[in-house]
């Protein structure tokens, strides 16, 4: 039996089993890791069965992160701010600990790419689970954060949750021109929907701006990054580094060893070049 697994719906596209097999090979730690498609109504039942039968750790993805938070008996401090988790560890006493490694995964990738400074002015587009998972990390790094979203009320609600942690406000999509931003992060799911019309004003993209899409697709630029490049941006990156980073920090929670993010990214790059 796999003692580690990712739960989601859909799940067949997930790169997590592959990433974790690379971590296992690099560290020499036995780490059998599978993927489990959870029917929406049976998520908690499947998760309970998994841990009852000897599961030691789980990753949780769309659309179950909030429900997984409620399922756990205990939470790390960073995940309790967020109210959603992507990692569960079964502790030796049987208690299930929930954590959220999305924020640290994003932060470490932005640092690797030199896209972030301590006082960066960041525009975060989106107010779903992914945005929620990274706001506390960006604020704790010292960023000034503007949140925007199609459903503006959702953005305002997120600001209310996090305003005590730092400099954060919400602006509607048609009020974004000033001030200029150092970095735009796409945390919407528009990439999953293909080439839909862009939702941001073109004039936001200055030559020096950084553009980061949390979405990742294997063979091509994401629709958001293609649009940014067409407006003249050249400091662009997709969310693969975040994906590997959050996985590495899950691995760390389970085994106490942080695997190399860079060596996994190199493996992906080599495969892309073939």
Contact positions vs ligand NDP (CB under 6 A) = 62, 102, 105, 126-131, 149-151, 154, 187-193, 196, 199, 214-216, 239, 242-243, 246
Identify whether the C-beta of residue 29 lies closer than 8 Å to the C-beta of residue 83: no
- Give the list of residues 6+ apart from residue 121 with CB closer than 8 angstroms, or none: 143, 144, 146, 179, 180, 181, 182, 183
Q: Which is nearer to ligand NDP, 24 or 188 (CB)?
A: 188
Catalytic annotation present for 48 = no
Q: Which is nearer to ligand NDP, 112 or 154 (CB)?
A: 154
Q: How far is the CB of 54 from ligand NDP (least distance, A)?
A: 27
Q: How far is the CB of 79 from ligand NDP (least distance, A)?
A: 14
Q: How far is the CB of 156 from ligand NDP (least distance, A)?
A: 11
CA distances from 5 to 8, 47, 51, 250 (A): 10, 10, 10, 11
Q: How far is the CB of 214 from ligand NDP (least distance, A)?
A: 4
Q: Which is nearer to ligand NDP, 9 or 189 (CB)?
A: 189
Q: Which is nearer to ligand NDP, 47 or 82 (CB)?
A: 82
Active-site position among 53, 65, 90, 270: 65
DSSP assignments along 153-215, one per residue: HHHHHHHHHHGGGSSEEE--GGG--SS--SEEEE-SSGGGG-SPPP-S-GGG--TT-EEEES-
Active site residues: 65
């Amino acid at each position: 039996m796999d003692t580690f697994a990712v739960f989601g719906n859909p799940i067949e596209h997930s790169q997590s089993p592959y990433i974790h097999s690379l971590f296992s090979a690099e560290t020499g730690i036995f780490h059998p890791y599978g993927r489990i498609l959870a029917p929406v109504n049976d998520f908690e039942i499947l998760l309970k069965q998994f841990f009852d039968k000897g599961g030691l750790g789980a990753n949780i993805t769309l659309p179950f992160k909030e429900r997984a938070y409620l399922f756990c008996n205990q939470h790390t401090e960073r995940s309790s701010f967020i109210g959603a988790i992507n990692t569960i560890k079964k502790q030796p006493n049987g208690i299930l600990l929930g954590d959220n490694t999305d924020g640290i995964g994003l932060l470490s990738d932005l640092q690797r790419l030199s896209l972030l400074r301590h006082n960066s002015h960041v525009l975060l587009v989106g107010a779903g689970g992914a945005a929620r998972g990274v706001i506390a990390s960006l604020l704790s790094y010292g960023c000034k954060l503007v949140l925007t979203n199609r459903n503006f009320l959702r953005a305002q609600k997120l600001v209310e949750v996090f305003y005590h942690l730092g400099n954060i406000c919400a602006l509607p999509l048609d009020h974004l021109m000033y001030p200029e931003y150092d970095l735009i992060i796409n945390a919407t799911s528009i990439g999953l929907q293909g080439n839909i019309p862009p939702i941001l004003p073109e004039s936001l993209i200055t030559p020096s701006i950084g553009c980061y899409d949390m979405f990742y697709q294997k063979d091509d630029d994401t629709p958001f990054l293609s649009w940014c490049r067409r407006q003249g941006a050249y400091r662009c990156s997709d969310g693969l580094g975040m994906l590997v980073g959050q996985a590495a920090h899950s691995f760390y929670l389970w085994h106490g060893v942080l695997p190399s993010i860079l060596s996994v990214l190199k493996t992906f790059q080599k495969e892309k070049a073939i």
